[in-house]
Structure 1
């Protein structure tokens, strides 16, 4: 729910045959050393993170990492055990204050859309506009439905719409009160894979037009890269790394992060003479001392299989055609376990088994060996 008096409603404009999103005053939302426990279980461990005004921030991580709990705390559905939640410099949840959900100016879009089946589409969209008159709320609801291209179904009921259409209705309802921050909990998880690209693109355009700060929870790294200005990766209630998609992909903080953004082969290596040496040969330069053990992460696209080249000998033991690429499993001389390679379909001829294996050094990431890098 949204405090109607706390946000500014800007006039809507027409663009490309549809109504553009009304503009909100974007807010800065900060999590300051947030701790949350349930009984003896720690859900969040000292999370400090800020969503900047107008930014789309994606919370990424596996199930149980604390992503949805962060949204629930931001929305006021749950109260953290320790730490502060700060909106535009004002504490809204912490030792000295707790602003109720309806007074925060923060919108929440649920994973299952939470549309009321007994209400029409227009009634669903205007549900939260309690501070407006009946005529004004109807007008705003229709503007919102035009914005998402669904004005013609305003009198229908949710069960008559497709999953993608229901998602757009839920987005319209969440944006209609002009929230300064919009929270979205895995908003595309229930959509058919064929619809996801279209709906995500439309959603991103609408969020940009509305200018609200948005925090989107997802467990899909590609989705986070498509949607987010920045990505915050969580694991077991802790913040692992925050940055742009390019930063997390190219300079991951650890093996967990690297594996979240790419399929990897993981092999052991050792530093010798300023080079990282593996069973595949030298794969990177290193400033570590000679003899230092390292873990080498190699993206699947970086493992090349060729008929004639410099490299080590390998034998293809399995092959799967995946449309544009071939996924191949290859046993390699000097390694006790096979590696996988993704290559453009047809580069390695059908029936070819014996190959020379080489490495594209751009797809190699080296980590100093730790107990987690195994």
Structure 2
């Protein structure tokens, strides 16, 4: 995004525009089957008014299916969808998508190529007279800094600008809940950070409740008030990003939020013993075998200040950081570490490593 566009969006965010009456969204014990396969397994979660909730997980985890059920595009096998206390899908009936007060934004933006930018944004405002609809569409375009593009066609816009038009179209009817499916996946890495930040600013300004689907843990942490981590159609863990990162409920959760080394450990005398250090394990039984995880960023490597001897096998310079693989006695696989660049002399081979007890994560095997 060039400086002019960034400045336009920033000034647009300073404008006062009509806000959304944010709604709550509850999914109660949602089950979904497709061709005899269980795709969503008893998921219950709720988004509070004005909250940004990210559905995070790998492909096939059920996150997009859950979003489509909330929108009314897909029908659950059992369970209920409740918006602002009103059941919109469940045993007592079904409310079609257009009457749920939700906005939808997909990863391909789905802009109509034969309509201008203004006409695209005005498309969902059919209940308003033409002049009012155009005025509301212009307000939505001002929010995202693209009012000057109103007469242009989508093909004349960059990918980032098309994303912002799609956001304006979704927000124009002032939905109580905005549902976003991988909204930034089509952008190149240079644009993602700025467009994400701009989108979050618009969501805060309009006070919309937002459910955002993503497979990118860093993206979820940048955007979300809370994150719901899914895997194989089940809810693995839900909470603030710092809570899930610091206290992952499973080895899967630990590995999804950061690169980790995985090794075995055994409980002895209330502690788990590993080749890189020990930590308290009083919640587990004596002699129990455990899975142990250590983040690659939690490993301190030095020439002589560590506690465990190691040998550098490979070293890759990545600018700000270096990635190392190290041989450590007792480990079948090399230990991976990410350290600050130029921290070690270039000719270092024999080094020491140190891991703090609190950085050793333990899980049932």
C-alpha displacement of 1:202: 0.6
- In the alignment, the residues of structure 1 paired with residue 151 and residue 239 of structure 2 have an alpha-carbon distance, to the nearest angstrom, of 43
- In the alignment, the residues of structure 1 paired with residue 284 and residue 196 of structure 2 have an alpha-carbon distance, to the nearest angstrom, of 43
C-alpha displacement of 1:222: 0.5
Residue 40 in structure 1 maps to residue 36 in structure 2:
yes
User: Partner residue of 1:211?
Assistant: 207
C-alpha displacement of 1:80: 0.8
Relative to structure 1, is the Cα distance of residues 21 and 325 closer, same or farther in structure 2, using a 3 angstrom cutoff? farther
**Counterparts of residues 142-221 of structure 1 (less than 5 Å):** 142-221=138-217
- In the alignment, the residues of structure 2 paired with residue 320 and residue 227 of structure 1 have an alpha-carbon distance, to the nearest angstrom, of 31
Tell me if the contact between 1:20 and 1:206 (Cα under 8 Å) persists in the aligned partners.
Answer: no
- In the alignment, the residues of structure 2 paired with residue 244 and residue 61 of structure 1 have an alpha-carbon distance, to the nearest angstrom, of 15
Tell me if the contact between 1:22 and 1:209 (Cα under 8 Å) persists in the aligned partners.
Answer: no
What TM-score does the superposition give when structure 1 sets the normalisation length?
0.92
- In the alignment, the residues of structure 2 paired with residue 20 and residue 338 of structure 1 have an alpha-carbon distance, to the nearest angstrom, of 56
What TM-score does the superposition give when structure 2 sets the normalisation length?
0.94
Which runs of 5 or more structure 2 residues have no equivalent in the other structure? 1-9
Q: Which runs of 4+ in 1 moved over 4 A?
A: 14-18
Residue 269 in structure 1 maps to residue 265 in structure 2:
yes
Tell me if the contact between 1:18 and 1:146 (Cα under 8 Å) persists in the aligned partners.
Answer: no
**Counterparts of residues 1-374 of structure 1 (less than 5 Å):** 18-284=14-280, 286-369=282-365
Residue deviations 1:46-75, cap 9 Å, x none?
111111111110000000011111111111
State the number of aligned residues.
356
- In the alignment, the residues of structure 1 paired with residue 226 and residue 122 of structure 2 have an alpha-carbon distance, to the nearest angstrom, of 31
Q: What SS does the aligned partner of 1:233 have?
A: strand
- In the alignment, the residues of structure 2 paired with residue 51 and residue 218 of structure 1 have an alpha-carbon distance, to the nearest angstrom, of 16
Residue deviations 1:284-320, cap 9 Å, x none?
4534333122211101011122111342221111111
- In the alignment, the residues of structure 2 paired with residue 257 and residue 17 of structure 1 have an alpha-carbon distance, to the nearest angstrom, of 35
C-alpha displacement of 1:147: 1.1
Relative to structure 1, is the Cα distance of residues 181 and 239 closer, same or farther in structure 2, using a 3 angstrom cutoff? same
- In the alignment, the residues of structure 2 paired with residue 18 and residue 155 of structure 1 have an alpha-carbon distance, to the nearest angstrom, of 23
Q: What SS does the aligned partner of 2:200 have?
A: helix
Tell me if the contact between 2:309 and 2:352 (Cα under 8 Å) persists in the aligned partners.
Answer: yes
Relative to structure 1, is the Cα distance of residues 108 and 285 closer, same or farther in structure 2, using a 3 angstrom cutoff? same
Tell me if the contact between 1:302 and 1:362 (Cα under 8 Å) persists in the aligned partners.
Answer: no
- In the alignment, the residues of structure 2 paired with residue 126 and residue 318 of structure 1 have an alpha-carbon distance, to the nearest angstrom, of 56
Which runs of 5 or more structure 1 residues have no equivalent in the other structure? 1-13, 370-374
C-alpha displacement of 1:125: 0.6
- In the alignment, the residues of structure 1 paired with residue 106 and residue 140 of structure 2 have an alpha-carbon distance, to the nearest angstrom, of 18
Q: What SS does the aligned partner of 2:301 have?
A: strand
- In the alignment, the residues of structure 1 paired with residue 25 and residue 283 of structure 2 have an alpha-carbon distance, to the nearest angstrom, of 40
C-alpha displacement of 1:145: 1.0
Q: What SS does the aligned partner of 2:43 have?
A: strand
- In the alignment, the residues of structure 2 paired with residue 304 and residue 254 of structure 1 have an alpha-carbon distance, to the nearest angstrom, of 24
